[in-house]
Each structure stands twice: as C-alpha cells, then as structure tokens.
Amino acid sequence: MQCCANRFITKSLLLNNFSKHLSNGQSNVGFRSCMRLAEIGKFAQPKLNENYNHGQLFLHRIFGYRGVILFSWSAEVYDRDCQRKVTMSQQLSGVYKTPGGIEIKGVRHTYYQALIDERDWAHIRNQAESVTFLGPQNGSRALYAIPGLDYVCQSDVLPYHSNETAPIMHELFERFLAFDSSKLSWIGRETLKAWKAKNYPWLALSSVHRETTDSIRVTVIPFYMGSREAQNAIIYWWRYCVRLENLGNETVTLRERHWKIFSISGTLDTVRGRGVVGVEPELTNNAPAFQYSSHVSLHAPSGHMWQVEALN
C-alpha cells in the first residue's frame, strides 16, 4: 500500500470503509455521510524496516481509528500458513511446538502499544477495553481494565502528521506525551517510562500466533496476567486477544465458538457458546475484521488452547 506524503486526511463516522478507500488509491479521501468532514492531518511515508517513535500519530489500516504510539514490543510471530521465505530484515527466533508435535519457527516482528482516540471507540469493530489486569489483592479474582489501549503491528500503522493542539482524545495522552516544538513532534514523558516499567509484567507482548483457514485469518496474542491463590490452589490467569479477518469475497458470520483448553497439569476444559463477547460479528467486504479479548484461568503455569468457530 502506497501513501502520498502530502495527501490530506479527512474523517467521518464511516470508519470501516477507510482502509478500503486507501487501498483503491484514491487521492481525495471522503465518505457519503450527513456528518461534516474535517481535515485531521497529512499522511507520512510508512516505515518498512524502521520502528516508529513514541508519539507517532497514525490511522489503523484495518479498523480506521485514530491512535498514537506509546512504545514498541518485539514479538515472535508463529505463522501456521505455508512457509514463507525469510527476508534479510526478518530474524528467526524461537520454535513453537503444537500439541500435534509440529514445529513452527517464529519470526521476530515489531508491535506497538497504542492509545485509541476515544472519539472513535463507538465506531470500530474492536473492544475499547481490551487490556485488563488483576487487582492488587492476592485472594481476589477481580479484573480491572484500561480503556482505549491496543496492540498494533507494523503493517497496520498508517502514520500521519497533525497541526491540532490535541490530536488524540484520551485521558492518558497528555499524561504520557508532550509536544516538542523544536522537533514538531510528540515525545514521551517520564511518566510514560515509569508506567511501562511498573506495568511491564501484564502489558508485555512476547508471541503472536496466526493461521488462515478457508479465507479466514485468525491471529491470537496471549498475555500472562499473573497468579492468584484460591481454595488452597494457585490459579494462573491469561488474557488473549483474537482478530478475525475475512480475506475472501463472501460475507461470513461467526455463529458459535468452541474452545478446548488443555493444562499441563492434565486437565481438559471446553468452553462453547453463541458468537463471541455477546455478539455474532459479520465479516463483509466493507468491514472484513473483528477483534475481541477474553480471559482463561489454568491450574498450571502453561497449557494449550484450540478453537473451533462455526461460520456461515
């Protein structure tokens, strides 16, 4: 995808069509809507082999929301699709062995922790409260959420520059970032560094798992949240983020989920139900992706999860 550096960016409520307009190569981005269009900035050239700095404004290529990069993570991506040639810019890392004994080599990629503009929360197919953590009480299973945080891969970043004094609306934006007039860019405050260091255990991203079946690409990112003692047993908590992408031309709807969860302690649990997180998302040409997060608890520090999704 090519973006001209001087292309104007306009914004409306029809966010799901945004990346489609860009991919069609249209120089003037606009939408049919009763809402007034407003310029929010100008595109910059996307970086292919270089990381973005904290404070970089961007539009999400898939979900179309406005965001800002806080910091980066280095993650091992285990792609179960057909083996691809590893380029010079890619670094082979660890090896993941599936429950069936198949070894999948990880390729190291850059992901970013990002803030989502709160004005866009209601218009994207992505949970606004996807990042959760355990409470401080050791005996409590309470979960707390920080709204408007997301994990973004390098290819999903469409960078842009803005002259707005407050380009991103989020309660943490000015707390974490400050505008440097000499560099004409947003830079990280000390509070951002301290926040990352304090919350590193449950924020850290280390692995990404991806597979495509029948034109549906599923990407799963697991996060270890910590352990809690309950009824003389230690419970290990994990958060997982799932993105579903329809790469085909036919509209599909996720009707049912079926998880199989195997713990190394020897227990096997199943979870099934209608849709995911209370909805049955429809994946169309105009809105081909949906992302959600949930949690799982194990009686051992590691295990395996399989998912069977009923689509029609």
For the stretch 185-241, pLDDT in tens is 999 999 999 999 998 888 998 899 999 989 999 999 999 888 888 788 888 889 999
Instruction: For residue 199, tell me if it sits in a domain.
Output: yes
Instruction: For residue 112, tell me if it sits in a domain.
Output: yes
Query: Total domain count for the chain?
Result: 1
For the stretch 111-126, pLDDT in tens is 999 999 999 998 898 8
Instruction: For residue 269, tell me if it sits in a domain.
Output: yes
Span 255-266, mean pLDDT?
Answer: 84
For the stretch 156-177, pLDDT in tens is 999 999 989 999 999 999 999 9
pLDDT beyond 90 at 151: yes
Query: pTM of the full predicted structure?
Result: 0.81
Span 30-42, mean pLDDT?
Answer: 68
Q: Is 90 exposed, middle or buried (0-12, 13-18, 19+ CB in 10 A)?
A: middle
Please give the single-letter amino acid code of residue 38: A
Instruction: Give the distance from CA 292 to its chain's centroid.
Output: 9
Structure tokens at 78: 């285990």
Instruction: For residue 2, tell me if it sits in a domain.
Output: no
- Which among 247, 231, 236, 244 is positioned nearest to 285, based on CA atoms? 247
| Domain assignment of residue 27, given as a range | 8-311
Instruction: For residue 257, tell me if it sits in a domain.
Output: yes
Instruction: For residue 132, tell me if it sits in a domain.
Output: yes
Instruction: For residue 189, tell me if it sits in a domain.
Output: yes
Contact indicator for 188, 177 with CB cutoff of 8 Å: yes
Q: pLDDT value at position 175? A: 97
Q: pLDDT value at position 244? A: 94
Span 79-83, mean pLDDT?
Answer: 71
What is the rounded CA–CA span in Å between residue 214 and residue 247?
Answer: 9
Contact indicator for 240, 300 with CB cutoff of 8 Å: no
CATH number of the domain at 275, please: 2.60.40.1470
Q: pLDDT value at position 21? A: 37
311 dihedral zone (left: phi>0; alpha: psi -120 to 50; beta): beta
Q: pLDDT value at position 94? A: 58
Structure tokens at 13: 């409520």
Q: pLDDT value at position 132? A: 84
Residue 137 pLDDT grade (very low, low, confident, very high; cuts 50, 70, 90):
low
Q: pLDDT value at position 141? A: 63
Instruction: For residue 98, tell me if it sits in a domain.
Output: yes
